[in-house]
Amino acid sequence: MISMLYQDRALAVCLKLPGALSQDGPGETMPALLRAQLGGDIFPVHRLDREAGGVMVYARTGRAAGALSAAMTGGQFQKKYLCIVRGRPEEPEGVYRDLLLHDRARNRSFVVKRMRGGVKEARLDYRLLAEKDGQSLLLVRLHTGRTHQIRVQFASRGMPLPGDGRYGGGSGALALWSCSLAFPHPVSGKVMTFQALPEGTVWDAFSETLALLESTSGSFPV
C-alpha cells in the first residue's frame, strides 16, 4: 500500500517506494500502483530516481497534468532532499554548480568542463546537518532537475552516497530521500507544501538529528 499525504480530484501526493519507477515503464511503477490503489488515471509530472524514495505528486486529470508540468517548467516547484554522503563537504553550507552530460545508453551522468551538445547546467544548495562515523547528513535544495544530479554532483567531489553503486557508493539502500515538495495547486493556484522524514535502516545513524529537525523547525529550510 502506498502512503498517501494528500489527494483530491486533480492530484495525488504520496511517498514513492524505493525501487519503483516514478514513471510508466517495465517492472513495478508508481503510476500503475496508484491506478490500482486509487482508480482512474494517473499522470506523472516529475521524476525521482528509481532507487530513491520520498514525496512525489501525480496528476489525476490531463488538465491538472498540463498545469503542473507548466509550473515545473516555470520554476514554481520547490524540491528538497535529504541525503547521506561519505566524507564531509569543505564548507558547512554552499552551492554546487556544474555542467552535466547524461549518457542515455549507459544511464550515467558526468561532470564536464565545457558546454556542448547534450550538456546542461546543474545547480543545488546544501546544508550540513550532522556528521557521524565518517559520513554526513545533508539537506539539499535542487534548482535544476538533471538526471542523477545530487548523486553525481557529490560523487564528483569525492562524496558518493551510500548505496549508490553507479557512482561509487557501494551496495545497499540508496541514502537519498525527497523530503519536501512545494508547488501551486493546478486548479486553485494555492501553494501546497508536503514533507516527510525518510524511512529505512540506512537513516538510523541520524535518527535523532532527523527527529530534531522536524520538531524544531516544522519545515526543511535550506
Tens of pLDDT, residue by residue over 116-171, are: 888 899 999 999 999 999 999 999 999 998 999 999 999 999 999 999 999 999 99
pLDDT at 220 over 70: no
> Do residues 150 and 142 make contact, with C-beta atoms less than 8 angstroms apart?
yes
Task: State the pLDDT at residue 116.
Answer: 85
- Of the candidates 193, 155, 194, 156, the one whose C-alpha atom is nearest the C-alpha of residue 176 is 155
Task: State the pLDDT at residue 213.
Answer: 79
* CA–CA distances in Å: residue 141 to residues 48, 116, 222: 14, 26, 6
Task: State the pLDDT at residue 145.
Answer: 87
Q: In the structure, what pLDDT confidence band is assigned to residue 216 with cuts at 50, 70 and 90?
A: low
pLDDT tens sequence across 80-116: 999 999 999 999 999 999 999 998 888 889 889 888 8
Q: In the structure, what pLDDT confidence band is assigned to residue 199 with cuts at 50, 70 and 90?
A: confident
What is the b/e burial string over 134-157, where b = at least 16 CB atoms within 10 angstroms of the residue's CB?
Answer: ebbbbbbbbeeebbbbbbbbbbbe
In whole angstroms, give the CA distance from residue 162 to residue 168: 8
What's the whole-number mean pLDDT along residues 176-186?
Answer: 97
Q: Which residues are catalytic?
A: 49
Biggest CA-to-CA distance, the chain = 48
Rounded to two decimals, the pTM is: 0.93
pLDDT at 218 over 60: no
pLDDT tens sequence across 19-77: 999 999 999 999 999 999 999 999 999 999 999 999 999 999 999 999 999 999 999 99
> Do residues 135 and 156 make contact, with C-beta atoms less than 8 angstroms apart?
no
- Of the candidates 207, 206, 130, 200, the one whose C-alpha atom is nearest the C-alpha of residue 172 is 200
- Per the DSSP assignment, residues forming a β-bridge with 121 are 99
SS3 18: coil
> Do residues 54 and 5 make contact, with C-beta atoms less than 8 angstroms apart?
no
In whole angstroms, give the CA distance from residue 123 to residue 68: 22
What's the whole-number mean pLDDT along residues 188-197?
Answer: 96
By the 10 Å C-beta count (0-12 exposed, 13-18 middle, 19+ buried), 200 is classed as middle
Task: State the pLDDT at residue 80.
Answer: 96
Task: State the pLDDT at residue 87.
Answer: 97
> Do residues 86 and 153 make contact, with C-beta atoms less than 8 angstroms apart?
no
